[in-house]
Structure 1
Amino acid sequence: MIALSLTEITEAVNGALHLAGPAEAADQINGSVQTDSRLIEPGSIFVAKPGAVTDGHLFAPVAAERGAALLIVARTLDLPVTQIVVADAVAALGALAAAVVARVRAAGTLKVVAVTGSNGKTTTKNLLRSMLERVGPTVAPRGSFNNQVGAPMTMLEVTAETRFLVIEMGASSEGAIAHLVRLARPDVGIVLSVGLAHAGEFGDLDATVRAKSEMVTDLLETDVAVLNADDPRVAQMAALTPARIVRFGEYGQVDVRASALHGSRTGTTFTLHLAGGQSAPVVFRVLGEHHVMNALAAAAAAEVLGVSLPDIVAALEATTRAERWRMEVLGGKDDVTVINDAYNASPDSMSAALKTLAQIGTPGKRTIAVLGEMAELGELAGEEHDRIGLLAVRLNISQVIVVGRGARRMHISTINEGSWDGESAYVDTPDEAFELVRSSVNPGDTVLVKSSNSAGLRFLGDRLGDLFS
């Protein structure tokens, strides 16, 4: 974190300062900000936030022992460390992050980019970071730090030298993205898609649209909204913002687009066309044509922020995977390819992954889809799992292996389609799925492992990748 005095931090979080030992209100703090006591280093700030199953205050003694210079707490603790007592530790974390970003922005050339969407946030964030790093110091989230804790933690990493801050914004309810937007005040807001991911949490698709629209409604006239013109629900958000609109997509009248797409098991080649009229061929080694849309979104934002076409193309061509456990290509032994895409799953991403599997399978060899539950779909779960089962049959996937009771309807749907005889199998556990794949796979086969994170199939994907490496 940038250096701030204890007084400045106290004012930012609207708390009450309790000095310890020789500390003075004017003392400067510039250590990292952590919510995990195990990450505390001498000079760090520890935020004692409540957790799902525990309370951060219980770990404050560990933070003190590890050298924390300041504790942000909801109640005074009997520890020899300076403390700021606040009404809500998570709100205080966000307020501190907002104050830091505002101060860095006012003092320099910091530009903030925010990304949201039902699918593709992390991939787009990673691509954008790679592009912006070619121009200047860039801060972006580690992994999927995209909630009311993760986003502020990323914001607090900016320094006086930071030129670009990329923030991934997720939401489990209406108002969550609006809150993060108010904290970060992005100069560029990107909306990738609106789908059924987390539909069970939002309640219905209309609520999802409203939640994702929060990315653009508070933008200023001087800001830019980067919108997916191929998604009608995203395209209509242009009417909700005073910001300048930059549209990306593969169809219709768009500013940034791709043409001449050709997908294979080594990635996708296409021609990138920017809003300024320049174009160039791209060899994009991230598997799956659906990731081209994420590349277009990142390119659109990067062009707005002054990144040149050669740097945009270089960043795209240097990227070999979307992220760990996201369309990650493993294996290779006996020409067996394993695609581990089991970090998350929605109906849209599941469909895209299956279409990619069907597209890249070696002619004359089998395609095998190991599928687990798509979580957080609420009352839509049954029909959406049915739909994926039917899609697998219609794409002529050679073998479907459904894992876990939450996904069992996919197996039933493939059987009811009536096209197969034994090509769909159901097992209860990842271990059973591993043994079934191991005993049946043939040289040249392509295996997809796809599920929501909660199903745990990403580790199955790793095991299969190791088996065929």
Structure 2
Amino acid sequence: MIALSLAEIAAVVGGQTHDIPDPSVQVTGQVVRDSREVEPGSLFVAFAGERVDGHDFAAAVVEAGAVAVLASRPVGVPAIVVDDVQRALGALARHVVQKLGATLVALTGSAGKTSTKDLIAQVLQHKAPTVYTPGSLNNEIGLPLTALSATEETRFLVLEMGARGIGHIRYLTELTPPRIGLVINVGTAHIGEFGGREQIAQAKGELVEALPSEADGGTAILNADDPLVRAMAVRTKAKVIFFGESGEADVRAENVRLTDRGQPAFRLHTPSGASDVTMRLYGEHHVSNALAAAAVAHELGMSADEIATALSEAGSLSRWRMEVTERPDGVTIVNDAYNANPESMRAALRALAAMGTASRAKGGRTWAVLGKMAELGDEALAEHDAVGRLAVRLNVGKLVAVGGREASWLQLGAYNEGSWGEESVHVSDAQAAVDLLRSELRPGDVVLVKASRSVGLESVAQALLATGAEGEVSAR
């Protein structure tokens, strides 16, 4: 964080200082909520959770070097006491962002937010120091903590914004007002909570409504290929830039294809020129993510060649998102188990099918180890059935559906689409999936592992990678 005195922080958040001998002492380190992340000069934010109360760690964090604690009650060590710690954290983030003067880029969408955010950050880092949301810390706590990690050298601040209801994104934009707002897509993620795609679009569009006018430098970047996103153009006074494969897009892709390893390649067109891109990421869905990143970079003054070079060099920054690892025995594990919704599940299956081209040449097969997609409400049965059917249509070698009722719907969809014999199977849990795969995998096979975060299927990928490291593999 930029250096601020405890007196200034107390004034910003409307707090009272307790046990602070010298209010002019500055916070020079990071603002953290995890006591393990405290370093000399830190400000520790004490949240009272259901299982752990951060106030209980107050003495320990000060001993570890924290300057003070942002708390809801006196804790016997230097503290700034407020009525609402979360709101105080947000107020501090807004103050720092305004004082910093960096260009703030915010993005939202139903699927691909984190991958797109990672691409934007890597592209902009070619131009100037950039701070971005780590992982998926995109809520009312993670977002201000990210903003507060910016320093005097930061020129670009890239913030992912999530929403589980109307008004959530509006609140986040009040904490960290963006100049550039990007909406990637409107899908079915969390549709059970929102009630429909139109409600999701209403919530996501709060981002472009919060942007400054075009005269004041505001820019909305919208997906021309998504009708619900394209329609958001009328909800903003900001300049509008469209991206996509549509011919009407300002930033678009032509000659899109996948390499034999499943990595996308295309000709990037921007208003400033065109250049070729071959990505290191896997799956055609990353083309849209790359175009979104390219539109942001173009708006911030980068040339088509600079953008293409940066996109071609970019990798995955966040774990368990299409992490591709080839074991010493020749089996490839694709760990995409961080989360899942119908759109991302279909994209991952298509990427697996593309990777299967190379695997079949080596005598390998494709495996889709899939679990529940959460928060789909009344759409759950139809969406799980559709994913199971798609696996068959894409000629995935074997579907392993893991878990309870939703997994049985996946397997049933595959069966009804024409998967007979042992082409699809339903197993009870992650360990059963691991046991099956350990007995069946052979060199050249490619295994996709994907489900909603609550299922915890990353344990399957981790177990299979550990198996490969031990040299255990079926010879059949």
TM-score, length-scaled by structure 1: 0.94
Shift of 1:116: 0.8
* C-alpha displacement of 1:229: 0.7
Deviation, 1:254, is: 0.5
Between the aligned partners of 1:211 and 1:359, the Cα distance in structure 2 is 34
1:88 alignment counterpart = 84
Residue number in structure 1 paired with 2:17: 17
Separation in 2 of the partners of 1:369 and 1:322? 23
TM-superposed deviation, 1:464 = 2.2
Q: Choose from 305, 314, 320 the match for 2:309.
A: 314
SS of alignment partner, residue 361 of structure 1 = helix
Given residue 423 of structure 2, which amino acid in structure 1 is its aligned partner? E
Contact 1:326-1:343 at 8 Å conserved across structures:
yes
Distance 1:261 1:418 in 2: 30
Q: Kindly state the Cα deviation for residue 310 of structure 1 after the two structures are TM-superposed.
A: 2.7
Query: SS state of the match for residue 415, structure 2?
Result: helix
Q: Name 1:26's counterpart in structure 2.
A: 24
1:192-233 per-position Cα deviation (integer Å, ceiling 9, x unaligned): 011111222323322211111111001111210111110111
Distance in 2 between the 1:302 and 1:136 partners?
A: 11
Query: Structure 1 CA distance, aligned partners of 2:327 and 2:426?
Result: 26
Counterpart CA distance in 1 for 2:391 and 2:370 is 10
Report whether the alignment pairs 1:172 with 2:157: no
Matches within 5 A, 1:211-360: 211-221=203-213, 222-264=217-259, 265-276=261-272, 278-321=273-316, 323-360=318-355
Aligned partner of 2:282: which letter? Answer: L
Letter in structure 1 aligned against 2:41: G
CA distance in 2, matches of 1:102, 1:136: 19
Q: Is the 8 A contact 2:26 2:67 kept in 1?
A: no
| Contact 1:331-1:467 at 8 Å conserved across structures | no
Preserved contact between residue 411 and residue 424 of structure 1 (Cα < 8 Å): yes
What one-letter code is carried by the residue in structure 2 that aligns with 1:7?
A
Kindly provide the CA deviation profile for residues 335-376 of structure 1, in whole angstroms up to 9, marking residues without a partner as x: 432211111100000011112222331346422111011122
| 1:394 to 1:266, Cα distance in 2 relative to 1, 3 A | closer
Q: Is the 8 Å Cα contact of residues 280 and 312 (structure 2) preserved in structure 1?
A: yes
Which secondary structure state, in structure 2, belongs to the residue aligned with residue 253 of structure 1?
coil
Q: Provide Cα deviations, 1:388-407, integer angstroms capped at 9, x if missing partner.
A: 11221222222100111142
Helix, strand or coil for the counterpart of 1:397?
A: coil
Partner residue, 2:438 = 438
Cα root mean square deviation, aligned: 1.8
* One-letter amino acid of the counterpart of residue 50, structure 1: A
Distance 1:368 1:18 in 2: 59
Distance 2:316 2:38 in 1: 31
Residue pair 1:275, 1:300 contacting (<8 A) in 2 also: no
Q: Quick check: 1:202 aligned with 2:194?
A: yes
Kept in 2, the 8 Å contact 1:220–1:242? The answer is yes
Q: Distance in 1 between matches of 2:428 and 2:119?
A: 37
Q: Give the conservation status (yes or no) of the 8 Å contact 2:268–2:304.
A: no
Alpha-carbon distance between aligned partners in 1 of 2:211 and 2:153, rounded to the nearest angstrom: 25
Identify the residue that residue 44 of structure 1 maps to in structure 2.
42
| Per-residue deviation, 1:53 | 2.8
> Number of matched residues?
460
C-alpha distance in 2 between matches for 1:309 and 1:171 = 32
Q: Does structure 2 retain, via aligned residues, the 8 Å contact 1:256–1:296?
A: yes
Name the counterpart of 1:156. 148
Match of 1:130 among 95, 98, 122: 122
1:148-205 Cα shifts (integer Å, max 9, x gaps): 1111011001112211111111112221111111121111111101111122232332
The answer as to 2:108 corresponding to 1:116 is yes
Q: Residue 174 of structure 1 aligns to a residue in which SS? A: coil
Question: Using a 3 Å threshold, how does the CA distance of structure 1 residues 45 and 253 change in structure 2: closer, same or farther?
Answer: same
Taking structure 1 as reference, are residues 394 and 338 closer, same or farther at Cα in structure 2, changes over 3 Å only? same
> Structure 2 CA distance, aligned partners of 1:446 and 1:156?
41
1:381 deviates by: 1.8
In the alignment, residue 402 of structure 1 is paired with which amino acid?
A: A
Is the contact made by 1:10 and 1:16 (CA closer than 8 Å) also made in structure 2?
yes
Cα deviation, residue 468, structure 1 = 4.1
Query: Sequence identity of aligned pairs in percent?
Result: 48
Residue number in structure 2 paired with 1:428: 428
Q: 1:408 corresponds to which residue?
A: 408
User: Does the CA contact (< 8 Å) of 1:127 and 1:298 recur in 2?
Assistant: yes
Q: Deviations over 1:272-310 (max 9, x none)?
A: 11122x001111121000011000000100111112323
Please tell me whether the aligned partners of residues 263 and 360 of structure 1 are also in contact (alpha carbons under 8 angstroms).
no
Instruction: Answer whether contact 1:50 1:56 (CA < 8 A) is retained.
Output: yes
Q: Offset of 1:266 from its aligned partner?
A: 4.7
User: Is 1:461 matched up with 2:454?
Assistant: no
Q: Which residue of 1 aligns with 2:473?
A: none
Question: How far, CA to CA, are the matches of 2:329 and 2:42 in structure 1?
Answer: 50
CA contact (8 A) 1:287 1:321 kept: no
Return the offset for 1:87.
1.4
Amino acid across the alignment from 1:299: A
Instruction: Give the stretch that moved more between structures: 420-429 or 57-66.
Output: 57-66
Give the equivalent residue in structure 2 for 1:193.
185
Unaligned runs of 5+ in 2: 470-476
Provide the TM-score with structure 2 as the length reference. 0.92
